[in-house]
Amino acid sequence: MKMKRLGRDGPLVSDLGLGCNGMSLQKPRADDESVATLQAALDNGISFLDTADFYGMGHNESLIARAIKGRRDQAFLSVKFGALISHSGAFLGLEGRPSSVKAFAAYSLQRLGVDVIDLYQPGRPDPAVPFEDTIGAVADLIKEGKVRYLGVSEVGAENLRRAHAVHPVTALEIEYSLACRFIEPEILPAARELGIGIVAYRVLADGLLSGLLTGEPTGGNAHLRPPRMQGENIEHNIETVEFLKQMAAAKGHTAAQLAVAWLLSRGEDIVPLIGMSRRARLAENLAIPDIRFTAEELAALERAFGPGGIIGDRYPGFVMKFAAR
């Protein structure tokens, strides 16, 4: 796995990161297989492990602790905090007070079984707390040696600059994909100006870019389904993805592989997060960094996935108020 620098002055991390949330969401959970998958990823050079204290209410961090025991130096741990989730999985709000931030970090360190978190970041800004106060608490943790680098997640250009003014920001975790390009006009240029790396999540846009969907999903909570995955929107979007499927077939790859490879083509400052909880998918993902596009192919993808190519918001309305714009 190729390594790249995370941000202008940050650490070297793997070209791809592993988003670990799905390991705690699957029902029934398969903890032994998840741990084996994490270890296989590390064996093959995927060092960037992305988690949060609210993923499975600490379950996800405990999984990672099992996987990295005895091999801490092979893993780069990115941890989010601040989302309050009930036992049933309901969203209860955001918490960004400095005292809470430091308590969250103490519990994460214990669950992960480590002395320091590599990248620590609020999952969303708490609207009830000045963002500078939340960021200042992480800066304190860095001074104390409990955190190495500051990250932020799902913030716009203004909050990105506010955070960076308190302490240098190493990475911004934010949704970015062929199907979701809202960061390109303002947020991405601001990050590049400040030397902040981009950690891209939901890189397959809820499975839309996998090319496997034939209609509106029927599982899960329909109340939480993004508008881009509903009704006429999903019908239109599946038609757009058909172009990606055809290009992938012509190149001997899957649509999902091409979607992630496109992100890598957008710049050396982008680390896409792939999601997998089974070792069987590792070989497919390891092949992604070797995929190349011609100028003509990139131009064709730009035409297909430009404005109007994918329609519908990325989150339902009640969640969008907490999302970066």
Using CA atoms, how far apart are residues 280 and 288, in angstroms rounded to an integer? 15
User: Does residue 3 contact residue 13 with C-beta atoms inside 8 Å?
Assistant: yes
- Residue in the structure block whose two tokens are 């999985």: 89
Q: What number of CA atoms fall less than 13 Å from residue 105's CA on the CB side?
A: 29
Beta pairing, strands 83-85 & 91-94: antiparallel
Among 19, 161, 158, smallest CA distance to 79 is for 19
Exactly one of 55, 120, 149, 315 is catalytic; name it: 55
Beta pairing, strands 169-175 & 147-153: parallel
How many Å from the N-terminal Cα to the C-terminal Cα in the chain? 32
In terms of DSSP H, where are the helices of the chain?
Answer: 21-25, 31-43, 59-68, 98-112, 131-143, 157-166, 187-194, 231-251, 255-265, 282-286, 295-304, 317-320
Q: What are phi and psi of 261, to 5 degrees?
A: -60, -35
Contacts 24+ apart (CB under 8 A), 104-107: 104/53, 105/81, 105/141, 105/146, 105/147, 107/53, 107/58
Q: Is residue 55 annotated as part of the catalytic site, yes or no?
A: yes
Q: What is the set of active-site residues? A: 55
